[in-house]
Amino acid sequence: MSQIVAVVGRPNVGKSTLFNKLIGDRVSIVNNEPGVTRDRLYREVKWLDKKFTLVDTGGLEPRNNEFMMSKIREQAKVAIDEANVIIFVVDGKVGITGLDEEIAEILRKKDKKVIVAVNKIDNYMKEKDNILEFYALGFYDVVAISAEHKVNLGDMLDLVVEKFEDNKFKTIDEGLKIAVLGRPNAGKSSLVNKILNKERNIVSDIAGTTRDSIDSQFMYNGMPYTIIDTAGIRKKSKIDDNVEYYSILRAIKAINRADVCVLMLDVNELLTEQDKKVAGLIYEAKKPIIIAINKWDMLEKTNNSVKEYTEKVKAEIPFLAYAPVITISALNGKRVNEILDLADKIINEYSKKISTGVLNQVLSDMIAQNPVPTRKGRAVKINYATQVGIEPPKFVFFSNNPELIHFSYARYIENKLREYFGFDGSPIEIVFNKKN
Ligand code: GDP
Ligand code: GDP
């Protein structure tokens, strides 16, 4: 489960610099998929074996001094609500300022895990004692860094990942966790209510980690499920001008916690920019996905409607071609239970392991049907494949010249794997490694 780490601090302490160094060069490679919207405010970061979502609050700073403090306060509040761990950046050359103290107080009031990163300690041996005064801010973990020169960032990240909650030892069995996502008015609350009303053995309502999202547990066919409702997102957004930012943070959080994501669309207004953005987030998080076209009752249907609408959706978000599309009516309950059945099905696809023997038989079929193209006059061979991971399924293909395999051939392989083995609703990863 990915955790959220927020970088917080007053202007000019080096938050953006730190953010950029931590995300490194990977950004440009990670996602060039058409339709996946990039946003500079958050990125996936991996440290050792731990992945987390890093949030930069720097982009929210007003240029106008008058609103500075209220904005910073607001920014810190978002971080408090959403983050699992906070990196509180201060300036080691300047020392503690009044603004630092105000931010510290906001952070202290809530019970949050905070790491104070004393930045601009460019010459560690000479300046490391500068950090001592920052213990006065009242946090236990204080670390000297230089964002610009990448000094001590590893030590800082060690502290960050140490603070992640270990979710392995839950006492309550939450069962399969399903997040319902979509823009306001798509029908998320209606769907959640329908599911909960139909399933009368509701186990309990657990207040979510943010006050706007409520997790509901229920039993279906004798199995526990948890539904993560994000409908509250818009209510808070109304009060400020960073609507996009808040709703995206909340969506990321719900996606990260979910086992399966349901993206709800409104048949009257199929894919808005906001829908595409959320679709991109689910794709990037590599989570299983179901697309539900809601308000199907409102459509004048023909025999061809399901096909027609499914194709429309797939054309708009081609990177999610593997997502099953289901047409529903949250209002009258039509096919609502099918969403739960589909969720069960795709979580199995997500955890499926193909035996190496079968995989290599399929590999020889694939190559026989469509040989790997020769490139730059050099023969390219794929000798062997094996599945090295699940959730999502990950495959390694060994080749004499892996760098010469074109992405279109990788896509061919992906399509073939799906044709043979399914993996409906599940992302899959394909990697080429060198082996003669
Ligand atoms: P933000 O407003 O907190 O996002 O701060 P920025 O990342 O924009 O940085 C503010 C200034 O501090 C810029 O001029 C940076 O080049 C500088 N800065 C950031 N990190 C370091 C550092 O480690 N050492 C030094 N000497 N300057 C830094
Ligand atoms: P949310 O903002 O995504 O939680 O959306 P709501 O569940 O509050 O629904 C927004 C509006 O759409 C409400 O007026 C619902 O009654 C209506 N609605 C939701 N689902 C359906 C549906 O399947 N069919 C019809 N006709 N209306 C629906």
Range 173-202 average pLDDT: 80
pLDDT band of 290, cuts 50, 70, 90: very high
Inter-residue contact 293 to 316 (CB < 8 Å): no
Alpha-helical segments (H) within 179-288: 188-198, 233-237, 243-257, 273-284
* pLDDT the model gives residue 239: 45
For the residues 335-364, what does the mean pLDDT come to?
93
Give me the amino acid identity at 264. Answer: M
Q: Which of 163, 188, 216 is a domain's end point?
A: 163
Query: In the predicted model, is pLDDT for residue 167 greater than 50?
Result: no
How many beta carbons lie within 10 A of that of residue 363, not counting itself? 20
**89 Cα nearest atom in ligand 1:** 3
Most informative mutation of 7, 10, 12, 23 for ligand 1 (most atoms within 8 A of CB): 12
Task: Clarify whether residues 195 and 124 are in a common domain.
Answer: no
Number of domains in the chain: 3
pLDDT at 123 over 80: yes
Q: Which atom of ligand 2 is nearest to the CA of 190?
A: 7
Query: Does the beta carbon of 16 sit less than 6 angstroms from any atom of ligand 1?
Result: yes
Q: Which residue has the higher pLDDT, 84 or 239?
A: 84
CATH of the domain at 238: 3.40.50.300
In this prediction the ipTM stands at 0.61
pLDDT at 187 over 70: yes
Average pLDDT over residues 342-362: 93
pLDDT value at position 400? 93
Ligand 2 centroid distance, CA of 185 (Å): 6
Quick one: pLDDT at residue 73?
Answer: 61
Q: Round the average pLDDT of the chain to a whole number and report it.
A: 82
Same domain, 35 and 90: yes
Kindly state if the Cβ of 14 falls inside 6 Å of ligand 1: yes
Same domain, 321 and 365: no
Cβ burial 57-92 (10 Å sphere, 16+ → b, else e): bbbebeeeeeeeeebbebbbebbbbbbbbbbbbbbb
pLDDT tens digit sequence for 44-62? 788 877 888 887 765 444 4
Backbone angle region of 150, left / alpha / beta, with phi > 0 → left and psi within -120 to 50 → alpha: left
**Mean pLDDT value across residues 296-317:** 95
Identify which has the larger pLDDT, 133 or 74: 133
Q: Which of 21-25, 218-222, 295-299 has the lowest mean pLDDT?
A: 21-25
Q: Is 152 in the pocket of ligand 1 (CB under 6 A)?
A: no
Is 168 a domain residue? no
Q: Which residue has the higher pLDDT, 12 or 90?
A: 90
Q: Amino acid identity, residue 86?
A: I
CA distance 271 to 278: 10
Element (H, E) at 80: helix 68-82
Token readout for 297 is 């009752």
131 DSSP 8-state letter: G
Give residue 208's pLDDT band: very low, low, confident or very high (50, 70, 90): very low
Residue 249 domain-assigned?
A: yes
Considering the domain architecture, whether residues 139 and 251 belong to the same structural domain is answered as no
Residue 169 lies in a domain: no
**Residues 52 and 4: beta-carbon distance below 8 Å:** yes
Which of 59-68, 291-300, 335-344 is predicted with the least confidence, judged by mean pLDDT? 59-68
For position 436, what pLDDT does the model report? 67
Question: Does the annotation list 297 as a binding residue?
Answer: yes
Q: Measured from the CA of 147, which atom of ligand 1 is nearest?
A: 23
Give the H/E segment covering residue 43.
Answer: strand 42-47
Task: Residue 393: give its domain's CATH number.
Answer: 3.30.300.20
Residue 170, domain member (yes or no)? no
Ligand 1 centroid–CA 111 distance in Å is 28
DSSP 200: -
135 and 210 housed in the same domain: no
Of the listed ligands, the closest to the CA of 185 is 2
Q: Kindly list the distances between the CA atom of residue 46 and the CA atoms of 2, 99, 160, 392, 408, in Å, as whole numbers in the listed order.
A: 10, 31, 12, 16, 27
Q: For a pocket test of ligand 1, which of 148, 151, 153 has the largest count of ligand atoms closer than 8 A to its C-beta?
A: 148
| Domain termination site, one of 351, 367, 398 | 351
Q: Around Cβ 127, how many Cβ atoms within 10 Å? A: 16
Show the domain range for 22: 3-163
C-beta neighbour count of 330 within 10 angstroms: 26
- Domain match, 13 and 155 both: yes
Q: Rounded to the nearest whole angstrom, what is the distance from the C-alpha of residue 272 to the centroid of ligand 2? A: 16
d(CA 125, CA 430): 45
Question: Is pLDDT above 90 for 249?
Answer: no
Average pLDDT estimate for 121-135: 87
Whose Cα sits closest to atom 12 in ligand 1?
14
Q: How far is the CA of 189 from the centre of ligand 2 (A)?
A: 7
- Give CA–CA dist 38/56, Å, rounded: 14
Distance 55 CA to ligand 1 centre (A): 17
Whose atoms come closest to the Cα of 10: which ligand? Answer: 1
Lowest mean pLDDT among 15-29, 250-264, 266-280, 365-379: 15-29
Rounded to an integer, the average pLDDT of 5-21 is: 86
pLDDT tens digits, one per residue of 151-164: 999 999 989 988 88
> Which ligand 2 atom is at minimum distance from the Cα of 334?
23
pLDDT band for position 289 (cuts 50, 70, 90): very high
Same domain, 102 and 152: yes
Q: Are 217 and 196 in contact (CB under 8 A)?
A: no
Among 194, 189, 343, 342, which Cα is nearest to 264's? 189
pLDDT of residue 40: 41
pLDDT of residue 99: 86
Q: Note whether 339 and 362 are same-domain residues.
A: no
pLDDT of 39 reads 38
Annotated binding residue 93:
no
Q: Are residues 75 and 32 in the same domain?
A: yes
What number of residues does the chain have?
436
Average pLDDT over residues 364-383: 90
Tell me, in angstroms, the distance from the centre of ligand 1 to residue 117's CA: 13
Q: Which of 316, 351, 386 is the last residue of a domain?
A: 351
| Cα gap 44→67, rounded to integer Å | 30
Are the C-beta atoms of 27 and 41 separated by less than 8 Å? no
Among 396, 401, 414, smallest CA distance to 374 is for 401
Please state, in angstroms and rounded to a whole number, the distance separating the CA atoms of residues 83 and 61.
18
Contact 42, 56 (CB under 8 A): yes
User: How far is it, in rounded angstroms, from Cα 415 to Cα 410?
Assistant: 9
The rounded Å distance from CA 13 to ligand 1 centre is 6
Amino acid letter, 112: K
CA distance 207 to 188: 18
Q: What percent of the chain has pLDDT over 90?
A: 47
Which pLDDT does position 145 carry in this prediction? 95
Looking at the domain assignment, is residue 30 inside a domain? Answer: yes
Residue 301 lies in a domain: yes
User: Residue 374 has what pLDDT?
Assistant: 85
Amino acid at the residue 207: A
Cα 400-401-407 angle, rounded to 5 deg = 130
Give the residue, by CA position, lying nearest to ligand 2 atom 9: 187
Share of the chain above pLDDT 70, in %: 80
One domain for residues 92 and 150: yes
Whether residues 189 and 159 share a domain: the answer is: no
Position with higher pLDDT, 246 vs 311: 311
Q: Verify that 262 and 339 share a domain, yes or no.
A: yes
